[in-house]
Chain A
Amino acid sequence: MDTLIIPDKKALFGGFFLIGLSGFGGVLPQAQHQLVQRRQWLSDAEFTELLALGQILPGPNIVNMAVAIGSRFHGARGALLAVAGLLLAPLALILLLATLYQHYQQAPWLQQLLAGLAPAGIGLLLGMVLKLAARLPRHWRPWALAGLTFAAVAVVQLPLWLVLLALAPLAVGLAWRFPQAGH
């Protein structure tokens, strides 16, 4: 693993500013690109770890991640800076867009633009899932858990809190019981 970089406060704000601004259709693919590949603040494994933590805790995942990453480098102020960086520009932009949208919602070019952005955004997210899945150990247990989670949410469409309440303790319990299977 390469040595990682510790950002100063300005870089922390700037990094999350960029992530927020460029994350069309969800921020996760851009967050991974910036934090892991481009800036090397986190290793791939740490990113997955923080992402999992952000998902298991209630609240918006990426905001939770920003809090965790910001506070790791610069405590409470770091957390505040990361979240502010993440949300400020997109908030201003979306309010502007909402105003414009009220005027142009029937325009064909807008419909076409959205029609092209949607599959690209979904594809990016799929690419990220593939990256994460490729890191899972070659063992039947994690793959069974991933499949079970997928089926419960996407196929059976159970409420998310129920799925997590049932599967998270099971998954953690199994990993505790069989620590070697994960490595």
Chain B
Amino acid sequence: MLIFLFLMFMQFSLLAVGGANAIVPELHRVVVSELHWMSGQEFAALFALAQAAPGPNVLVVSLVGWKVAGVPGAIVSLIGICLPSSLLSFWVARWWQQARGSRLTTAINSGLAPLTVGLIGAGVAMMAASHPLSLTGGALLACCALLSWRTRLNPLWLLAAGAAAGLGGLV
């Protein structure tokens, strides 16, 4: 089982173009419909947990591994999904450092910047659409956005404010 998890997530690693959240629909299909490891409801709960917990969103993968093979499953899954893409990044970053300032890297750099803005912006829109927001929730979102844009406040303070508002029943 551990080897199976490892190999499966190694494949997912190179499919995750644009970030870990890109593989979630495909992961859902394989884990729920094909392998019947868990129900769709359970999958959604694990995903929400990975989103809410501290740390990168890729951790959802370790929860899938944990569900079927305990802690070793979690570790093996996480290594599986990180290894191939990390090796690739390592070599590309190395080349990038050497070629820095050339016309090609400058073009890649200034060309990709708008795509980054569009991609993360799209992520924001999709997350906002999947969380039905109350009026106060929307106001909280706008305040956090404005403060993190305009100030150098540590993001943790804003999250703490959000948590407090939630616990106070305001959202």
Instruction: Write the residues of chain B forming the contact surface with A, with a CB cutoff of 8 angstroms.
Output: 13-20, 22, 45-46, 48-59, 62-63, 66, 71, 74-75, 78, 81-82, 84-86, 88-90, 92-94, 96-97, 103-104, 106-128, 131, 133, 137-138, 140-149, 152, 154-156, 158-159, 161-167, 169-171
Per the bound structure, the CA–CA distance linking A115 and B82 in Å amounts to: 30
Say yes or no for A4: interface residue by CB 8 A criterion.
no
Q: Is A43 an interface residue (CB 8 A)?
A: no
Q: Given A20, A33, A147, A179, which contacts B155 in the complex, CB threshold below 8 Å?
A: A33
Number of residue pairs spanning A and B whose beta carbons lie under 8 angstroms apart: 368
Contact in complex: B56, A53 (CB < 8 Å): no
- Enumerate chain A interface residues (CB-CB to B < 8 A): 20-30, 33, 37-38, 48-49, 51-64, 67-68, 71-72, 76, 79, 83, 86-87, 89-91, 93-95, 97-98, 101, 105, 109, 112-137, 142-143, 145-150, 152-154, 160-161, 163-164, 167-168, 171-176, 179, 182-183
A176 to B49, CA, bound (A): 42
Residues of A within 8 A of B128 (CB): 122
The answer to whether B49 and A94 have CB atoms under 8 Å apart is yes
Contact A98 to B96, CB < 8 A, known contacts A22-B155, A52-B112, A60-B56: no
Question: B16 touches which one: A28, A59, A79 (CB < 8 A)?
Answer: A59
Which chain B residues lie closer than 8 Å to A30 at the CB level?
155-156
Cβ contact within 8 Å between A56 and B149: no
Does the CB pair B145–A127 fall under 8 Å?
Answer: yes
Tell me whether chain A's interface is mostly helix, strand or loop, or mixed: helix
In angstroms, Cα B46 to Cα A177, docked, is 46
Chain B residues in 8 Å Cβ range of A97:
49, 53
A126 touches B114 (CB 8 A): no
Collect the chain B residues with CB atoms within 8 Å of residue A93's CB.
Answer: 53-55
Interface centre among B92, B137, B148, B164 (most CB of A within 10 A): B148
Q: How far is the CA of A87 from the CA of B118 in the complex (A)?
A: 27
Q: How far, in angstroms, from A163 to B19 measured CA to CA in the complex? A: 13
Other A-B pairs beyond A48-B116, A182-B110, 9, CB < 8 Å: A24-B52, A30-B155, A55-B18, A57-B92, A71-B90, A117-B159, A126-B141, A127-B146, A171-B111
B104 close to A176 (CB less than 8 A):
yes
CA distance A115 to B123 in the complex (A): 18
Query: Are A109 and B167 closer than 8 Å at their CB atoms?
Result: yes
- CB atoms of A59 and B171 under 8 A apart: no
Closest beta carbon of chain B to A93's beta carbon, Å: 6
Contacting pair A142 B54 (CB below 8 A): no
10 contacts between A and B (CB under 8 A): A22-B54, A22-B154, A30-B155, A33-B152, A52-B109, A55-B115, A63-B56, A132-B116, A149-B115, A153-B118
CB within 8 A of A116: which of B17, B104, B167? Answer: B167
- Contact A67:B118 (CB < 8 A) given known A101-B49, A116-B140, A121-B159: no
